[in-house]
Amino acid sequence: MKIFIGVDNGLQGGLVAIDEGGRVLAKHPGGEYTLKNKKTEYVVNEMASVVMRFKKDDIGLVVVEKAQAYPGQGVCSQLSVGYGHGLWVGILSALGFPVLLVHPKTWQKEILKDMDRTDTKAASILFAQRMSPETDWRGTERSKKMHDGLCDAFCMAIYAKRLSGE
């Protein structure tokens, strides 16, 4: 059985692993941890433990969203996105997983092609709910809204599966 993984590398991102049939095997909301002073940061050993449960030989492909700076984005925000991107790529590469960096517009154009993409977060949530209605797409059981980082990661996992021809 091959496993396909999608990673949205932002602090509010996520990781989703699916099998060849598109069933969700694992989902993890980001690499973040909220401290007592309300500061959110990456916890590297938690990020690594999430992917270390998979065997290298079972991985078909991992798609990681390419990090990029946007106009008007703050310097600290840009650094955080780049840092998370580097952590995920480093962890996955160190484990020997096949990693492909993909621009957000590339996977969105393929996966969300028949949907209104004016709000890509809303579109990815709708796609995830339609493709895997049995999956709880909230970040936690206490959350009231869907976790767009997990839904984006699911979309990228589906994109990885399609690229592999499965």
Global pTM? 0.91
**Structural domain total, the chain:** 1
Q: What is the mean pLDDT of residues 113-133?
A: 93
Nearest 5°: the CA angle 21, 26, 32 is 145
In CATH, what number is assigned to the domain containing residue 159?
3.30.420.10
d(CA 26, CA 16): 6
Q: Is 51 helix (H, G, I), strand (E, B) or coil?
A: helix
Q: Residue 123 is part of which domain span?
A: 3-163
Q: Which residue, 88, 91, 115, 114, is CA-closest to 102? A: 88
Tokens of 52: 């270390």
Q: Each residue of 10-35: pLDDT tens digit?
A: 888 899 999 999 999 999 987 565 55
Q: Which residue, 161, 127, 163, is CA-closest to 20? A: 161
Q: Each residue of 59-90: pLDDT tens digit?
A: 999 999 998 766 777 777 777 778 888 999 99
Q: Each residue of 89-117: pLDDT tens digit?
A: 999 999 999 999 999 999 999 999 989 88
